[in-house]
Amino acid sequence: MPANLTPIYRDAEAKYKAAVTREEKIAGLEEMLRVIPKHKGTEHLQADLRSRLSKLKQEPKKKATSKGLSHKIPKEGAGQVALVGAPNSGKSSLVATLTHAKPDVAAYPMTTHKATPGMMPYEDIGFQLIDLPPLCHEHVEPWVYDLVRASDLTWLVVSVRKPLHGLELVEELLAKRAVGLYPAGAEAPESPRPGWTYKETVLVVTGMDLPGAAGDMEALEELVEIPWPKVTVSTTTEEGLDHLGRVTFEALDIIRVYSKEPRKEPDMTRPFTLPRGSTVKDLARSIHKEIAQEIKFARVWGPSAFDGQSVQEQHVLEEGDVVELHR
């Protein structure tokens, strides 16, 4: 029997996927259970939600520490994206619009003093965005550069009003800390400087709702050659925000793979995200190391095989594959 999930449930599910804290996730699951249609077709989904809720509630609460804010942010979701930019570039407004995080947002510069994570929903997965303090000549804490190095992807955020200033400032300050930027989807520099870290980068231009923004953008493109993939956005009109999700997904170079148990329908709601080129063995390892050790073969439905084809553990998976592991 089909689940026939309602738009109200889908909204609750999106909020859960965007949750960051334990409390937010518990509230999200409780809301999903409250609004889910109650019939035979959703019995398994209801049981799964109750199981996840029970596990979350049994987790011990993290104790507060007096040692100050930790700047090591555990990765969540399909990829961690560090937002870098000059003061008043629009980073915080972007994170606030795309996620349920609440960074400090104001019309004056230097309102962000800490790293603020938030989950950006994209189709059936989410990306973890990290809003960082702005880069400027006055002072930047060393941990800001550490978080850039640790991320999977960088969004270089500039305002359409001062794009050239933002580009030059960010590149200059990152270079002083031995961090280089190169276009997402391109090959890493062939001759990297010793000790340097190079990050794949997407250029995000904010403020496209402002008067004359299109002309400002044309002037920038005439003045300088922009090497990075570019997305122009407005948090006011939401122009370009959907495209930003697709560009980020492609820049991370990942695939979504769905699991299936023998003689059951596949779970198409919670994909596993893996680097492009991953194998059946990699999928098994991402689920549990014991499964990876015990796997004998798999059956695959999707682009990488004909439906139900038996494959070995070194079979390379593709975006959208459904995999049934056998031990």
Q: What is the pLDDT of residue 1?
A: 41
Question: Inter-axis angle of helices 241-252 and 91-98, to 10 degrees?
Answer: 90
Residues with Cβ < 8 Å from 71, sequence gap 6 or more?
115, 141, 143, 146, 147
- pLDDT band, very low/low/confident/very high, at 194 (cuts 50, 70, 90): confident
Domain ranges of the chain: 7-58, 80-252, 254-326
221, two tokens = 């493109």
Helix (H) or strand (E) holding 283: helix 280-287
Residue type, 286: S
Q: What is the pLDDT of residue 121?
A: 94
This prediction's pTM: 0.74
More confident site: 175 or 3? 175
Pairing of strands 254-259, 230-232: unpaired
Q: Which CATH architecture has domain 80-252?
A: 3-Layer(aba) Sandwich (3.40)
Q: What is the CATH number of domain 254-326?
A: 3.10.20.30
- pLDDT at 273 > cutoff 70: yes
Q: Which of 34-43, 74-83, 137-146, 301-310 has the lowest mean pLDDT?
A: 34-43
Residue type, 106: A
CB 148 within 8 A of CB 174: yes
- pLDDT at 21 > cutoff 60: yes
- pLDDT at 64 > cutoff 80: no
Main-chain dihedrals φ then ψ at residue 273, nearest 5 degrees: -105, 130
Main-chain dihedrals φ then ψ at residue 79, nearest 5 degrees: 175, 150
Q: What is the pLDDT of residue 30?
A: 87
Main-chain dihedrals φ then ψ at residue 225, nearest 5 degrees: -85, 120
3-state secondary structure of 96: helix
| DSSP structure class, residue 114 | S
